[in-house]
Amino acid sequence: MQNIIFWFRNDLRLHDNEAFVEASKAGNVIPVYVFDVRYFEKNFLGFKRTGAFRTKFLLEAVEDLRKNLQAKGSDLIVRVGRAEEIIAQIAEDLEATAVYASKEVTQDETTIEASLSKKLKPLNIEIELIWTATLFHARDLTFQINFLPSVFTDFRKKIELATKVRKTIDTPGQLNKVENIEAGNIPTFQVLGFDTEPVIDERTAFNYKGGETTGLARLQEYLWDKNLLKTYKETRNGMIGADYSSKLSPWLSFGCISPRKVYEEVKRYETEVVANESTYWLIFELIWRDFFYFTALKFGTRMFKASGIKNDLLRQWSRQRAVFDTWVKGETGIPFIDANMREIQLTGYMSNRGRQNVASYLAKELGIDWTWGAAYFESALIDYDVCINWGNWNYVAGVGNDPQANRTFIIEQQANLYDPEQAYVKLWLGENTHS
């Protein structure tokens, strides 16, 4: 049987992974994960592109994937380097006939895909990139991507009316043995450029390990064991603890869990427990997630520029590093902002309410180049997702898809509304809430 390389990317799962299933049908599948060194370099502001919390989650996710593959008789080949070079070399060494992987949509990722494709061509090795990231399949959109509505509600209505969520794909059964290649060690923190592992702050709202196994367990816990889905709409703007929202984001971002799996479980819950506004709202949020993926597909590199997808070249942005640094460190003097910025720094997580506020404050109150904020989030967030992060920052900064681009959060009002007893601010700043 012919050798097929499967290159795992942000799809670190075996359930509902169409790309992997197709690869395993095509031949002797050899699963590979590459810790791409470019994602561990410093960005233009001096932040490591993948910070310590996300790195920890990723290492755990890769370890879990290897165990799950081993349980099926296969293995995961692990390497550190530049993905296209390593994948092409392995494919050549093992005389593979094709490389399969999940399709990505953004600049850096598609550049890597393109250079891999270029390397494989002279070797006569095929490359198959398969869509696995979203709830609604890209091929099921009823419009060409250029006609993607620019306002979320228009997109949601269109897609809900005309498109069905495809069924999840079964997890493959027993797999072939991986032979004639060193499996390779999962790198340490030091290899990836960190001095030490991050310390877990006991106040964290996200105290979970990475991987498909823990992701599926959290889904089970949130819906079934704790029965929290039925009140999601009421609790989702909370800020303290694990249970005000699903906390599925890091697993979704690395693809440890598929959005269709979440969807199917929500539908089952609606049949077996209750269907209400809350159950719908989790799906509604997953549609937001899709919206930003398709927005990234439509607008390409514009999403990463200060002028945004609106291409607003008139808007001026400040680039005062000292002012920006007070925001990063949580030293602006505004307790609600500072508490949130300390939470992200110490845990890698921040609530959606917090993110909306700190982003609005940076872009609209301080007038700082919002791409700096997005680049800091890229480094700091445990759940960083290129489309969702940059899409939301475009939106909040007023250069994206917000029909009310001048919308500004009045921070004091938000603090009174969402933290009336100052419990959140006290949690992160101590009793002295005037930071």
Ligand X SMILES: Cc1cc2nc3c(=O)[nH]c(=O)nc-3n(C[C@H](O)[C@H](O)[C@H](O)COP(=O)(O)OP(=O)(O)OC[C@H]3O[C@@H](n4cnc5c(N)ncnc54)[C@H](O)[C@@H]3O)c2cc1C
Kindly list the residues in this chain that would bind ligand X in the complex (CB under 6 A): 236, 245-249, 252-253, 282, 285-286, 288-289, 292, 351-352, 355-356, 359, 377, 381, 383-385, 388-389, 392-393, 396
Q: Which of 88/248 has CB closer to ligand X?
A: 248
Tokens of 57: 């989650």
Question: 422: phi > 0 → left, psi -120 to 50 → alpha, else beta; which?
Answer: left
Distance, in Å, from the CA atom of 354 to the CA atom of 61, rounded to the nearest integer, reads 26
SS3 label, residue 363: helix
Give the single-character DSSP code of 142: S
Task: Identify the residue whose tokens are 């845990």.
Answer: 347
Cβ 132 to ligand X shortest distance, Å? 15
Cβ 352 to ligand X shortest distance, Å? 3
Q: Which of 294, 255, 261 is nearest to 387 (CA)?
A: 294
Q: Which of 6/206 has CB closer to ligand X?
A: 206
Q: Which string of DSSP letters, residue by residue, matches 87-122? A: HHHHHHHTT-SEEEEE---SHHHHHHHHHHHHHHGG
Q: Which of 13/79 has CB closer to ligand X?
A: 13
Tokens of 254: 């690395």
Q: Which of 74/253 has CB closer to ligand X?
A: 253
Cβ 82 to ligand X shortest distance, Å? 24
Q: Which of 100/136 has CB closer to ligand X?
A: 136
Q: Which of 246/414 has CB closer to ligand X?
A: 246
Q: Which of 95, 65, 96 is nearest to 78 (CA)?
A: 65
Cβ 348 to ligand X shortest distance, Å? 11
Q: Which residues pair with 162 in a beta bridge?
A: none
Count of CA atoms in the C-beta half-sphere (13 A) of 155: 25
Q: Which of 17/253 has CB closer to ligand X?
A: 253
Q: Which of 155/292 has CB closer to ligand X?
A: 292
Cβ 350 to ligand X shortest distance, Å? 7
Cβ 251 to ligand X shortest distance, Å? 8
CA-based torsion, 355, 378, 246, 198: positive or negative = negative
Crossing angle of helices 277-299 and 259-272, rounded to 10°: 160
Tokens of 194: 């960190």
Cβ 10 to ligand X shortest distance, Å? 11
Cβ 243 to ligand X shortest distance, Å? 9
CB atoms within 10 A of CB 289: 19
Q: Which of 38, 13, 61 is nearest to 107 (CA)?
A: 38
Give the single-character DSSP code of 30: E
